[in-house]
Amino acid sequence: MTADEQADAYIEELAQQRRVSPHTIANYRRDLSTLCKLLHEGTREIALDGLQTHEVRRFVGQLHSRGLSGRSLARSLSAWRGFYRWLGRRGLVAANPVDGVRAPKSPKRLPNALSPDEAGRLLDYVPDSVEDIRDRAMYELFYSSGLRLAELASLDLDCVEDLLAGEVRVVGKRNKPRIVPVGSKAREAVALWMTRRVELASPDERAVFVGKRGARISPRVIEERLKRRAQAQGLPTHVHPHMLRHSFASHVLQSSGDLRAVQEMLGHASIASTQVYTHLDFQHLAKVYDTAHPRAKRK
């Protein structure tokens, strides 16, 4: 098998047997395609079992000079390292040339977040169509509960009862489940959407949020509609679903100072992932969530 065929076999196993997310699969596929191209570049072609560590470092240098960030290079190295481990288990290579190679460090970027006023401006509008009602329910849920885009898009009808009671169970990265609170504004918006959902949904569709064709709404459609809504509301920045997740984390953490609670609600495996939000000027520790979140305060 060629290097490309070996890479395809590895990706197929990740997708079919290990239940890796589609987003991760797409990234790994791109990273391994880049590796295969690099093996063919230069004055001599390098076989998979002939790649040396110093050549991996050279590849990293080439990609860095082409503008790839340290974060992107770290992900590429992770994909390459996993691929070579897979090859090693099958006796196709004697050693892993990627072990010990590290990506150059990139400046730490702080997450972009809306201010509470900007979040209010985005969400406080009167919907004038069933699609607007659906969109507002999705945006409120992003901001209320810090859901990832894939988590929200994958919600099924069996979660609605619990959601309207104040909590939602989602399955995050690495198939890790978690339960997060749902604020009153989000519950109201979802309840309104559920009274109108039948106008769009196909009879047998189990997704909570559906598109105009009646099937589960795609993440791309959610992103595009949120972008257009932000523009219509006069927000000066490009707004995407992950920005609402960042805004949720920033605003709860700023008001409560409870890093561990925010870590649990975001589903971060490591507290280090949550600590990027600690640049905020915290107020005194208060009640978590219902009293801290700008749109979750009880009436």
- Are 44 and 191 contained in the same domain? no
- Are 218 and 77 contained in the same domain? no
In single-letter form, the type of residue at position 289 comes to: Y
Whether 293 maps to a domain, the answer reads no
The reported pTM is 0.61
Q: Which stretch of 48-52, 102-106, 234-238, 266-270 has the lowest confidence by average pLDDT? A: 266-270
Can you spell out the DSSP letters for 215-247?
SBPPHHHHHHHHHHHHHHTT-SS---HHHHHHH
Cα distance between residue 66 and residue 38, in whole Å: 13
pLDDT tens across 131-143, in order?
999 999 999 999 9
- Are 126 and 265 contained in the same domain? yes
- Are 145 and 203 contained in the same domain? yes
Can you spell out the DSSP letters for 69-131?
-HHHHHHHHHHHHHHHHHHHHTTS-SS-TTTT--PPP-PPPPPP---HHHHHHHH-----SHH
Whether 95 maps to a domain, the answer reads no
Whether 110 maps to a domain, the answer reads no
- Are 134 and 231 contained in the same domain? yes
Whether 144 maps to a domain, the answer reads yes
* CATH value at residue 83: 1.10.150
* CATH value at residue 201: 1.10.443.10
- Residues of the chain above pLDDT 70, percent: 87
The residues assigned a catalytic role are 148, 173, 242, 245, 268, 277
Q: Which stretch of 31-45, 49-63, 176-190, 285-299 has the lowest confidence by average pLDDT? A: 285-299
**Mean pLDDT throughout 31-37?**
93
**Mean pLDDT throughout 164-184?**
87
| pLDDT, the chain, mean | 86
- Are 65 and 167 contained in the same domain? no
Helix segments in 235-286, DSSP class H: 241-256, 259-266, 271-274
- Are 153 and 223 contained in the same domain? yes
Note down the domain range covering 40: 3-89
Q: Which stretch of 62-66, 140-144, 287-291 has the lowest confidence by average pLDDT? A: 287-291
Count of domains for the chain: 2
∠ CA 133-196-179, nearest 5°, is 70
- Are 268 and 138 contained in the same domain? yes
Whether 107 maps to a domain, the answer reads no
pLDDT tens across 252-282, in order?
877 776 777 777 787 776 666 666 665 543 3
Cα distance between residue 115 and residue 139, in whole Å: 15
